[in-house]
Structure 1
Amino acid sequence: MNRADIIAALYARRSARGFLDTPVPRQTVAAILAHAARSPSASNTQPWRVYACAGAVRDRLSDALLALHDSGGHGHCEEYVYYPPAWREPYLARRRTLGKALYGLLGIPRGDAAGMALQYARNYAFFGAPVGLFFTIERGQGQAAWLDLGMFLHAVMMAALGHGLETCAQQAFARYHQVIRAQLAIPDSEILVCGMSLGHADPAEPANRLRTAREPVEAFARFAGW
């Protein structure tokens, strides 16, 4: 095992927001998921479920989501609380810093609500990626399943890098779970947690130049005993 490569992959991972339309073979996607399935889970319960789409299925779903989003969403909403009801520091400042950096790269000035809305809508076009992944857990699972799924998601991102691909995890899909559920035959017994775009990152996409900062270890960790 090359430890240096593992560390390098952690620093290389990013949320790509622009992809080439280069197809990704089904066997590659299956291999990525097989690698990610080595993620830890409570008592090895492996609570994650994945629904992958490409080609005409991906295109039909994207068209339906974009049409619904452009029409105002018609009351659709996610099944769980994702963001806090009110932001406070230091999280608010970090969120604003990210938004300023991203929209700056895209040439969208502050206050340009229409431009921001168009960029947000690109979520539902998978940012141009040829593969869409959707992640669910069964209803009635405890908090452990959500933690396990988070670790699995990160493993998918790392495994994708190992295959020369990049990703963007997107909670935005959860709002339209009913549409996604119907088109991908996701049973009502499962909660759609999020989606993910997968493919070859577009080097010409301005948003892909975004590099986010991280807090120093001293800001979030406490050490005792040495």
Structure 2
Amino acid sequence: MHVDDAIRSRKSVRRFLPDPVSRDTLAHIVEVAGRAPSGSNIQPWQVHVVAGEALHRLSAAILAAFDSGEEHQPEYTYYPTQWFEPYRERRQRCGYGLYETLGIRREDKARRHEQMRRNFHFFDAPVAMIVTIDRRLETGSYMDAGMLIQSLMTSARGQGLHTCAQAALAWYHRIIREQLGLADSELVLCAIAVGHEDPEAPENHFITERKPVGSIARFHGD
């Protein structure tokens, strides 16, 4: 797959088939993604590839915490405390578009809650990648990790797979740490669900829009 096709066809898949992904394929994805750049080549990341019974245990532990109503917080701030334009409108269009595709009305709190809960099933994916960085590093390492995450998803597309990056899992870092035996220095950034797309699922037909080049780039000079 040409890199342009891999990037253009990447999307957030929210329902996967149960078909397994081989360890060789997963190792290849991580190897290729490991070519992502980082400042002074420090490579501040770790990728924890979770499948099989280990994934079932992790999912069950997080779901139990979610269902209990326990208070959990991530170790970093992802979103602003106060939204403003144009980001408020873009975020709303994304959320409303997904729920509309699924036939979930705004006032249907039960179904909205259930859809949120599917995050912690990893949308039925057979594999989850938990991405961490060393907490002793600084903001630049978050930029480095972002390039790794994009590379993981692009590499997966090159293998005919799909993904969904899940920042929601960062809220449950204590459970992830316990289940996977993470080092104290590791800060959980996100999960990435990996597998084969269920082409019949309506949520997988929801494609978020992108702004045109003229809206996101300014060209200076000839």
Global fold match (TM > 0.5): yes
Task: Return 212-221 or 11-20, whichever deviates more.
Answer: 212-221
Q: Distance between the aligned counterparts of 2:23 and 2:182, measured in 1?
A: 19
Instruction: Say if 2:178 is the partner of 1:158.
Output: no
Q: Distance between the aligned counterparts of 1:111 and 1:86, measured in 2?
A: 23
Q: Deviations over 1:127-186 (max 9, x none)?
A: 000001101111111111110100000000010011111100000000010001001011
Gaps of at least 5 residues in structure 2 are: none
What is the one-letter code of the residue matched to 1:198? V
Instruction: Say if 2:162 is the partner of 1:185.
Output: no
Instruction: Say if 2:145 is the partner of 1:149.
Output: yes
Identity over aligned pairs, percent = 46
- 1:89 Cα offset (Å): 0.7
What is the one-letter code of the residue matched to 2:102? L
Partner of 1:216: 212
Q: Deviations over 1:29-48 (max 9, x none)?
A: 11100000011111111111
Equivalent residue in structure 2 for 1:135, among 131, 136, 154? 131
Q: Deviations over 1:85-114 (max 9, x none)?
A: 011111111111111110011110112121
- 1:84 Cα offset (Å): 0.3
Instruction: Say if 2:61 is the partner of 1:64.
Output: yes
SS in 1 for 2:147: helix
SS in 1 for 2:75: coil
The residue correspondences of 1:1-226 to structure 2 (distance < 5 A) are: 5-72=2-69, 74-226=70-222
RMSD: 1.0
Q: Deviations over 1:173-220 (max 9, x none)?
A: 000100010010111111001111000011111110011111111112
Q: TM-score, normalised by structure 1?
A: 0.96
Q: Distance between the aligned counterparts of 1:64 and 1:142, measured in 2?
A: 30
SS in 2 for 1:53: strand
- 1:25 Cα offset (Å): 1.1
Gaps of at least 5 residues in structure 1 are: none
Q: TM-score, normalised by structure 2?
A: 0.97
**Deviant stretches of 4+, over 2 Å:** none
